[in-house]
Structure 1
């Protein structure tokens, strides 16, 4: 490896300072290999997802012990603020967060009878079609997927959507390295509500017919996602009943500040599949959020939905289980005997803010009309609702508010919210959130302008300077068409559309490169819409690498290829770069973009389409 390549890898984050110095001085040291090269069988194209649901190891060569040094300059401090950079969720009557936000703004509840296929008539808050799952997207055999707890399946899809919302399933995921250079340093902290699927399976087991039973234990929820996505950070399940997601967030923030991972996924899920779990007013749902230290999020060009100022956990011994979930957590000030108040005060101290500056308080009571008594996912719904109000700067209907209203304030200091939950066993947790105001921005409204002010270096040269290379990929042609249709609907719809360059850069750098690929060089969003409509109408042209043959000239193995791609990019030869990517060549888009800083690469975009089919025990549809 020559000096130029060493310096290039150091600049791109593939080498730390110690490794680069060792190579430049000839003292050796192995180089951590980039994960995510080549095509794969789904998101497994570089995402660690393999056929049959097995784990594909992330290729990592660790540095020699004598070259390892802890990069303390990159490690967040113990008081570092944490950014929420990605979100996804499904709640009763709301299949995505856009629907959940509209539901919250309108103040409409979601109580109803169980969906078709579920016996009983207990009114509650239920998700639809919980038996459906897209096993093919994740490269999991259908028979294996039928044995997976539907809670786990639902979480896999939602967690992937949260990563895509953050633009963090491609090269940007590889670039999340820990202190020793290991890529994909993302922790996963989750909770699940029931073990109903195993109970349903046990009903059909007999000595004469000893059917295979689902694997028990909530440990599988985070571990399977970490394995499938090739993540290398902590991966653990949390169970403190209603407060589980907030406790998981507290643990994730601590792991980020300790440098145990570069990002963390926090989430929860609950499904009521066994009749014994259903009771009037019970609820279901799933939610996930991706967190990063704020400084890292800003350096990476992430969209910051809000900031976590501080959190605290403890036991509400004065209230205990009899106090009920969420009771006493609404008021900021309270007596020593109020359950959870001691923990709330600890969270305020950790955040370094006064209670009088916190205008919004979310808890189990806040979301009861939307998700009911949803156990482990209760706090996920309350947390998501608070984040959405901060990011939109709108207060939804609640105590003292008959309808949604603009959230006044933000001139002197950021708007703030608290989210609290008390588990049935007395485990309390509180989190203090605030809106993100960029330094130097004139109020919150200036954030959007500041975020888009700094873009990637575009190709030079005449008319080609205005062109952009739009890329899209998926595990199968059907998935590719469905995802392309989502982007066509975005461009043709009445809502705001990101500027073409921002949209194209976000997809190039933030999405995993899968086997089936579509790419187009376009000059504006109108040309892009036309190209997408032609593709979705007649199904071509696109590249299908599932049968092998990716990178037929083996250019990825030649170190000079990076310079060749950079030269093509600088000269504006986008059609040639397009052809190479369609052939299966692994392209380091971040290196070509040479863009870091606010607004450089990540904006919320439609997520990949899932093509779900019913998968249930014994091949039957849901009969819980």
Structure 2
């Protein structure tokens, strides 16, 4: 049976996917050898989801063994009409658009997709002077907050961030790869600058977006900005994967942002947004006890010329009977499939800029971030969301025994094309039929650690923040979560995630509690009265100088093993920074990361010349 007959019978339903793939492999050569015929095309299955694709014949070029899978271990984002990812998923699942008139304070009436209060920022949280913060591009400020939320979502601040070391032992080996929108803020400042009344100007370069975050946290991996318009974040992710595979960093934060601050940018249908992901090699993520949202199996980048047949400098005109535009459009997706080690039988759902247009509009660099986030959420919840090719959400039933997969692809306005293959993750001992997405939901973590709580001494709950006001606002978030109607994490898993995954700041709250109900009462009392709270901003931390004593680590371990949580609580409140992760390991317990509320930001309007907001 030749290739044409196989494809005809497949389209007619006489052969299923596996049978067709087997016959095609036998007809055209073994997978893994270079294809010799024309570039393969994409077959739309009439009885499957409208955006499902399989490849007719082997993937063009050799299918290579994929590199080690990379895990998505943290996510955060803010999109029009969605202040967090829970709200974003509700809009994604319902198929709701976000088009509206500009928010108050922005002139014009162009219908677009806008974020609220883009002038607001919390400089005190990051230790930035308010005057300096007013000169920072709001895109940079918004990215700082979102990137911090990603690290907290992954339980990767404080000691767990320090533990991400490079091959030579350098701590905080995290790369930051970003895409950013236009420099509207500098344009706004230039309108009022004159030689008679000069004033400090905002930085106009996109380089500051990743570099500022790396500097503030002392991150030592690559710190790089990418500008390929809509595909910026996917290109940034491609670079991040390469850095991880080369060992240039132990983890990588990838994100993008766009704000429409200058009136000329607010064209009809344009959009705003910010989003970011944290990536780790899967083996490292599992060893660290991370919550794995999904896997990144492969990526590819390339360029699609507007007219691939037109001659240009140094290029000769060519003639071909094949469709050159179609071949160019398929080249990078095919390369991504090869990088993921997928063969002709792979079924992959497509996500592209059109999939998120109703949610974020034409959002430039934020388009890729929104597309990736939408794809990860579909894999996590195993739901196919509404979009251009589907009227309403559907439960994502698997087509075969393979994991669910999504190909996210975006082409920038200049032709920079990027594609990423995402795949659902099943923990060891489960498979695609029995695994659920419960491990990613609040309240789904198990609590099997035989720690102090099991001995009847309670659980040590800690919170910290840069100021008492920040601490109270964050405590209120936890009280609302734990006292609300929704699912909550087991007390032990929640307390461990906070102790090991959050940084210890100057203003601290701690309590030893026996159950979640007691913790809610303690938190509500703290929010109401503001006590007890340790404020170490004026010095006085660690008054006994225990941090410098070589015996301190053994002393803390002995206290932990004996269940002396009240003593440990007092030492931590006095300013002694305890390596909770080391104590957990010494007791035989592994780190368990569960999703928790992010630290609260107390934003204030900061704008050029002390103005209240964009104009």
The normalised TM-score by structure 1 is 0.83
Give the Cα separation in 2 of the matches to 1:577 and 1:265.
33
Q: Counterparts in 2 of 1:201-216, with a 5 A limit?
A: 201-216=189-204
Of the candidates 539, 544, 548, which is equivalent to residue 553 of structure 1? 544
Distance change (3 Å), C-alpha of 1:345 and 1:573: same
SS in 2 for 1:84: strand
SS in 2 for 1:433: strand
> What is the RMSD computed on CA atoms of the aligned residues?
2.2
Distance change (3 Å), C-alpha of 1:273 and 1:448: closer
Residue in 2 aligned with 1:88?
76
Please list the CA deviations of residues 4-51 of structure 1 after superposition, one character each: whole Å capped at 9, or x if unmatched. xxxxxxxxxxxxxxxxxxxxxxxxxxxxxxxxxxxxxxxxxxxxxxxx
Distance change (3 Å), C-alpha of 1:596 and 1:108: farther
Of the candidates 354, 365, 386, which is equivalent to residue 376 of structure 1? 365
Matching of residue 458 in structure 1 with residue 447 in structure 2: no
Name whichever of 599-608 and 475-484 sits farther off. Answer: 599-608
Matching of residue 393 in structure 1 with residue 407 in structure 2: no
Distance change (3 Å), C-alpha of 1:512 and 1:545: same
SS in 1 for 2:325: coil
Matching of residue 189 in structure 1 with residue 177 in structure 2: yes
Residue in 1 aligned with 2:129?
141
Residue in 1 aligned with 2:277?
289
Q: Counterparts in 2 of 1:403-552, with a 5 A limit?
A: 403-409=392-398, 412-443=401-432, 445-446=434-435, 452=445, 455-459=448-452, 462-464=455-457, 467-552=458-543
Give the Cα separation in 1 of the matches to 2:172 and 2:351.
33
Distance change (3 Å), C-alpha of 1:271 and 1:520: same
Residue in 1 aligned with 2:163?
175
Distance change (3 Å), C-alpha of 1:599 and 1:446: farther
Please list the CA deviations of residues 139-179 of structure 1 after superposition, one character each: whole Å capped at 9, or x if unmatched. 00000000000000000000000000000011100000000
Q: Give the number of the structure whose alpha-carbon radius of gyration is greater.
A: 2
Give the Cα separation in 2 of the matches to 1:314 and 1:125.
29
Distance change (3 Å), C-alpha of 1:461 and 1:195: closer
1:113–1:123 CA contact under 8 A, matched in 2 = yes
Residue in 2 aligned with 1:327?
none
Shift of 1:461: 7.7
Q: How many residues end up aligned between the 2 structures?
A: 535
Residue in 2 aligned with 1:154?
142
Residue in 2 aligned with 1:19?
none
Structure 2 unpaired stretches of 5+: 1-64, 311-321
Shift of 1:440: 1.7
Give the Cα separation in 1 of the matches to 2:507 and 2:122.
16
Name whichever of 159-168 and 599-608 sits farther off. Answer: 599-608
Give the Cα separation in 2 of the matches to 1:565 and 1:234.
36
Give the Cα separation in 2 of the matches to 1:471 and 1:253.
34
Shift of 1:191: 1.1
Matching of residue 620 in structure 1 with residue 611 in structure 2: yes
Please list the CA deviations of residues 581-609 of structure 1 after superposition, one character each: whole Å capped at 9, or x if unmatched. 00000101111001899973211110000
Distance change (3 Å), C-alpha of 1:374 and 1:595: farther
The normalised TM-score by structure 2 is 0.84
Residue in 2 aligned with 1:69?
none
Residue in 2 aligned with 1:72?
none
1:226–1:235 CA contact under 8 A, matched in 2 = yes
1:438–1:447 CA contact under 8 A, matched in 2 = no
Distance change (3 Å), C-alpha of 1:571 and 1:447: farther
Give the Cα separation in 2 of the matches to 1:351 and 1:295.
17
Distance change (3 Å), C-alpha of 1:598 and 1:521: closer
Give the Cα separation in 1 of the matches to 2:403 and 2:339.
17
Residue in 1 aligned with 2:60?
none
Matching of residue 589 in structure 1 with residue 577 in structure 2: no
Matching of residue 276 in structure 1 with residue 269 in structure 2: no
Distance change (3 Å), C-alpha of 1:254 and 1:596: farther
Q: Counterparts in 2 of 1:57-136, with a 5 A limit?
A: 79-136=67-124
Structure 1 unpaired stretches of 5+: 1-76, 323-333
Matching of residue 563 in structure 1 with residue 554 in structure 2: yes
Residue in 1 aligned with 2:21?
none
Distance change (3 Å), C-alpha of 1:620 and 1:404: same
1:485–1:533 CA contact under 8 A, matched in 2 = yes
Shift of 1:402: 2.3
Give the Cα separation in 2 of the matches to 1:587 and 1:396.
44
Q: Counterparts in 2 of 1:203-242, with a 5 A limit?
A: 203-242=191-230
